[in-house]
Structure 1
Amino acid sequence: MSGKLQKAKGFKKSRTGMYVSIAASLFGVVGTVKRGREARREGDTLQLIDVAVSAAGIVTGVALLVRELRRGELHDVLADD
């Protein structure tokens, strides 16, 4: 496997990759909030439950990513040559 391909595979576990993953997760909040407002306006309980479960998933995902960042066991694959 080429060196560049190996770097690309390790990107998600790098510090930069973790920040990108956190940003992507937080970007999902926008859609979840919109769905929540719409569900509340319509009085749709089932959709509100779905939004709550989605929000819990986002919070859990971000918490896991932050924990990995705090552990500091990440490699900066972009800086390695």
Structure 2
Amino acid sequence: MSNALSKAKGFKKSKTGTYVSIGTTAFGAINVVKQVKRARTDGDKLRLIDAVVTGAGIITGLAILYRELKRLGDDDVLLG
């Protein structure tokens, strides 16, 4: 069981794992866009603020993942 857990942790730190994380994070952006549209249609300022804050979190998360991907790429160059 420990071996499977270490493989899962290793996947999260791999290029493939980072790409998967970017994809799932970007998928969350679709829900934010829907939430913004609903909030504007309903004139709900509180939902609009919530969507903007959530969107900022998604953008920050994507930036962190992009940085991690670049770091992994730099490591690959050094190893090769």
TM bucket (normalised to shorter chain) is: 0.7 to 0.9
- Structural mapping, 1:1-81, within 5 Å: 1-2=2-3, 4-72=4-72
Question: By how many angstroms is 1:62 displaced?
Answer: 0.3
**Consecutive unaligned residues in structure 1, runs of 5 or more:** 76-81
Q: Deviations over 1:27-54 (max 9, x none)?
A: 0011111111000001111110000000
Runs of 4+ in 1 over 3 A off after TM superposition: none
State the identity %: 53
More helix by share: 2
Structure with higher RCO (Cα < 8 A, 6+ apart):
1
User: What's the TM-score once normalised by structure 1's chain length?
Assistant: 0.83
**Consecutive unaligned residues in structure 2, runs of 5 or more:** none
The 1:68/1:41 distance shift into structure 2, 3 A limit, reads same
* RMSD over equivalenced CA pairs, Å: 1.6
